[in-house]
Amino acid sequence: MTFSTRMAQALDARRAADGWRQRRLVTRNDTRTLEVDGVTYRHFSSNDYLGLSQHPAVIAGWRQGAPGAGASGHVTGYSRCHAELETRLAEWLGYPRALLFISGFAANQAVVHLLAQKNDRLIADKLAHASLLDAASHTPATLRRFHHNDVMSLTQRLATPCDGGSLVITEGIFSMDGDSAPLAAIADATRRADGWLMVDDAHGIGVVGEQGRGSCWQQGVRPDLLVVTFGKAFGVSGAALLCSEAAADYFLQFSRHLIYSTAMPPAQASALLAALHEVQQGDALRQRLNDNIQRFRAGAAALPWRLMPSQSAIQPLIVGENGAALALSQRLAQAGCWVSAIRPPTVPPGTARLRITLTAAHQKEDIDRLLEALHDAAGE
């Protein structure tokens, strides 16, 4: 089969399954509202949970740094801003070291690719992020998946003998279901099996825990490897790996993602320093976000679609079939609310959904307008 034939068949199948993905040109985005094709919508598909992408201090921080690093951190791309950000992150989260990566996807890939060798095993939550599962499937290690948030299932897999190391992989708050992992129990099971625990806390950092320190801090857990990303509550982009001194040295010496990739721009590191300060001082923002979550959940209780039991900013409304999810998304857009439909393969077949995300930037009237639009759609 030629490349052209293979591509044509795949594209035809994607269209037929109502799974076609389409980018839309956004001309303005202030987290609360979104302008697409000249039309302004209330925005309910943003991961900017605290609204910090619009914060004056974060914007000013970006303007203070150089727009490009010019090289990898191993050459000349490691600036004072990078070093200060790593030091402050490590101190804040209680780790000896922090290493910066250009994205959360890159950080997850780097960790799994480098650590997982022949005879090792990776035991990942069934709903772990695609970046983790993709990396795991391309290593010589054995990949096993445990039932979502099921510690007994994890324990059973850990009980199987292994000649190498065991790396347990999970998320703090899951990106598509919005629920939290039982990290304390997972950490205990991993420790008893003499394994390492890796947690991707992309959707918990900045939002939960004292000073927004995240899911692990909230549950009293310090995993061996903690990945935090900056494209959600920090309002910027990039990621960091929190780890031991030895692990940091190992990654600096052997991680191809660090050695052969241009470092994040100093301007980005400078903006992240400002964002970190706002996150640490952001109790009022977190309270506003939590108030918005509770307001939405109370108003959505009577809807005919299944609302996942999430207490996070991610509020998934399960619609079922792809076409129905797309139709509901379009109906909400007609009512002035932008909510993206999420379909397989991002989520399991038959669970197409509206992934409603709430932020501290939303006002009460925004939540009420979304609820009104949803109830109107249900009545139709």
Catalytic residue from among 43, 55, 82, 232: 232
DSSP 8-state symbol, 201? -
Catalytic residue from among 129, 166, 177, 257: 129
CA proximity to 29, closest of 186, 315, 235, 265:
235
Residue pair 47/53 in contact by the 8 Å Cβ criterion: no
Catalytic residue from among 53, 166, 175, 270: 175
- Does 346 carry a binding-site annotation? yes
20: how many CB neighbours lie within 10 A of its CB?
Answer: 12
- Does 146 carry a binding-site annotation? no
DSSP 8-state symbol, 180? B
Q: What is the C-alpha separation between 110 and 208, in angstroms, rounded?
A: 26
Whether 175 is catalytic = yes
Using CA atoms, how far residue 337 sits from 27, 41, 58, 174, in Å, is 16, 5, 27, 24
Whether 171 is catalytic = yes
Whether 74 is catalytic = no
- Does 175 carry a binding-site annotation? yes
Catalytic residue from among 200, 224, 278, 366: 200
Q: Give the CA angle between residues 239, 245, 247 to the nearest 5°.
A: 65
- Does 375 carry a binding-site annotation? no
Encode 27-65: b = buried (16+ Cβ within 10 Å), e = exposed.
eebebbbbbbeeeebbbbbbbbbbbbbebeebeebbeeb
Catalytic residue from among 43, 46, 47, 79: 47
Whether 232 is catalytic = yes
Residue pair 107/101 in contact by the 8 Å Cβ criterion: yes
Whether 129 is catalytic = yes
Whether 270 is catalytic = no
Catalytic residue from among 48, 125, 171, 278: 171
Catalytic residue from among 43, 55, 82, 203: 203
Which residues carry a binding-site annotation? 21, 104-105, 129, 175, 203, 229, 346
Catalytic site positions:
47, 129, 171, 175, 200, 203, 232
Which residues carry a binding-site annotation for pyridoxal 5'-phosphate? 104-105, 175, 203, 229
Which residues carry a binding-site annotation for substrate? 21, 129, 346
